[in-house]
Amino acid sequence: MGFNDKTTDENSETSLLLPTVTPAADVPNKIPEDSFHFAYIIYFTLGVGYLLPWNAFITAVDYFAYLYPDASVDRIFSVVYMVVGLFCLLLIIFYSHKSEAYVRINVGLGLFVLSLLVVPLMDVFYIKGRVGLYNGFYVTVVAVALSAAADALVQGSLIGAASELPGTYMQAVVAGTAGSGVIVSALRIVTKAVYPQNTEGLRKSANLYFAVGIVIIVICIVFYNVAPRIPVMKYYADLKVQAVNDATEERGPPTLTVLRSTLWHVVDRVKWYGIGIFLIYVVTLSIFPGYITEDVHSQILKDWYPIILITGYNVFDLVGKSLTSVCLLKNSKVAIGSTVVRLLFFPLFYGCLHGPKFFRTEIPVTILTCLLGLTNGYLTSVLMILVPKVVQFQHAETAGIVIVLFLVLGLAAGSVVTWFWVI
């Protein structure tokens, strides 16, 4: 299967996703309709859900910085989240054949609820707005680590599961992740406008972030467990079973050696897509949000400036991830090449710090930030949708999990590169 395969409708797209499957007698030939786009809504909501916990922790960083003034809260949270998430994701990649995605996702969603409950419960029963109770900080770090483990379970397994479905559902997941950022930005604007910027206001803001996160995760749990009962989801589940059965009949039950060989084969097939995803997030995370919140300033907008920039990025990220449902770039070489072109954002944003006077004003910075979000969203969605088409259907889940590993590595590398703006 080549890089430039094209699809014109859902049926042709499905045939690309299932290159080795001849449907069994008990699997209907006609794809059931996604009534009321319910399956799409479920996958969009799941995309929103798995990023909200992390967004809750980093959006409430003002609250944590007030409670624990001697701790580098944002840096510690980032390091813990990245390290734990990466370690858990590696375990999932090597041992995913021993568990079902359905189980991993449900466990991960449950862990999200537990981690999100920690902060508001501590606020009510222990912290109560008092400063310097560092036992509370250590418990919060454990909650961040728990959330990171849940993220690895949910994100890796969800992207893997979506890889076994038509590209519409992968697009729904990645659009949902952008929707998460838009929701958090909206909450940030509301809390800043409504609550006073004092201890009580910080407490109320933080509790609101975590309360919204808990509600959405609970909705995700309900939706995800309803999904297998939807006819269109049953159809693709039956196709997966048939593909696995066909592969077993042809080659026999997979041994550990075969499984490892298959893993490295999948890595080889998707590596260029993975490098593209890696570059996308190196560029994005090295600029957003650190550069946006710390390095550029506005005499006119003052402390609203970073909030407006973050909202602009999140809105255009959502626009980019939604565009692929209307216009999908199917040439993978162009898509991967575009991720290299995005390196131009480095000199452009550098010019916003040290370039001509006009370049250092609000308009160029805002335009570049929106373009950063738009290209991040569109190219991420394109590559995520194209990845499953370069492997056999029964390996699509593994390909999805591997591509998430490249994404997490890009996030980690971008978090390191962001320090060069300070240097």
Domain boundary among the residues 212, 232, 249 is at 249
- pLDDT at residue 338 greater than cutoff 90: yes
- pLDDT at residue 51 greater than cutoff 50: yes
Domain boundary among the residues 194, 218, 249 is at 249
- pLDDT at residue 305 greater than cutoff 80: yes
pLDDT band at 65 (very low <50, low <70, confident <90, very high): confident
Q: Of 6-10, 133-137, 261-265, give the lowest mean pLDDT range.
A: 6-10
Structure token digits, residue 157: 């397994």
Query: What is the reported pLDDT for 7?
Result: 39
The DSSP string of 222-281 is HHHHHGGGSHHHHHHHHHHHHHHHHHHHHH-SPPHHHHHHHHHHHHHHHHHHHHHHHHHH
* d(C-alpha 106, C-alpha 223), whole Å: 11
> 316 and 215: one domain?
no
> 284 and 353: one domain?
yes
Of the two residues 51 and 418, the one the predictor is more confident about is 51
User: Over the stretch 111-169, which tens digit does the pLDDT of each residue have?
Assistant: 999 999 999 999 999 998 889 899 999 999 999 999 999 999 999 999 999 998 999 99
Number of domain units in the chain: 2
CA dihedral 271, 274, 280, 285 (to 10 degrees): -120
> 147 and 270: one domain?
no
User: Over the stretch 275-293, which tens digit does the pLDDT of each residue have?
Assistant: 999 999 999 988 988 777 7
- pLDDT at residue 57 greater than cutoff 70: yes
pLDDT band at 24 (very low <50, low <70, confident <90, very high): very low
Do the domain assignments include residue 374? yes
When mean pLDDT is compared over 28-32, 78-82, 107-111, 261-265, the highest value belongs to: 107-111
DSSP 52: H
pLDDT band at 28 (very low <50, low <70, confident <90, very high): low
Exposed, middle or buried by CB within 10 Å (0-12, 13-18, 19+), for 6?
exposed
Do the domain assignments include residue 11? no
Structure token digits, residue 200: 């009580």
> 259 and 389: one domain?
yes
Query: What is the reported pLDDT for 419?
Result: 77
> 194 and 101: one domain?
yes
Compute the Cα dihedral for 289, 290, 294, 299 and give only its sign. negative
Query: What is the reported pLDDT for 422?
Result: 56
> 240 and 259: one domain?
no
Neighbours of 373 (CB within 10 A): 27
Q: CA geometry: angle at 382 spanning 306 and 329, to 5°? A: 115
Mean pLDDT of the chain: 87
* d(C-alpha 210, C-alpha 310), whole Å: 19
> 377 and 309: one domain?
yes
Do the domain assignments include residue 24? no
User: Over the stretch 67-80, which tens digit does the pLDDT of each residue have?
Assistant: 999 888 877 888 89
> 260 and 235: one domain?
no
- pLDDT at residue 387 greater than cutoff 90: yes
Percent of the chain surpassing pLDDT 70: 91
> 225 and 292: one domain?
no
pTM (2 decimals)?
Answer: 0.86
Do the domain assignments include residue 348? yes
- CATH number assigned to the domain comprising residue 159: 1.20.1250.20
Do the domain assignments include residue 6? no
Average pLDDT, integer, range 371-391:
95
The domain containing residue 94 runs over which residues? 32-249
- pLDDT at residue 397 greater than cutoff 70: yes
- pLDDT at residue 22 greater than cutoff 60: no
> 238 and 300: one domain?
no
Do the domain assignments include residue 386? yes
User: Over the stretch 203-244, which tens digit does the pLDDT of each residue have?
Assistant: 999 999 999 999 999 999 999 999 999 999 999 888 888 877
Query: What is the reported pLDDT for 27?
Result: 56
Do the domain assignments include residue 89? yes
132-149 CB burial, b ≥16 within 10 A, e <16: eeeebbebbbebbbbbbb
DSSP 393: G
Average pLDDT, integer, range 396-410:
91
> 78 and 135: one domain?
yes
> 229 and 167: one domain?
yes
Domain boundary among the residues 220, 249, 278 is at 249
Do the domain assignments include residue 190? yes
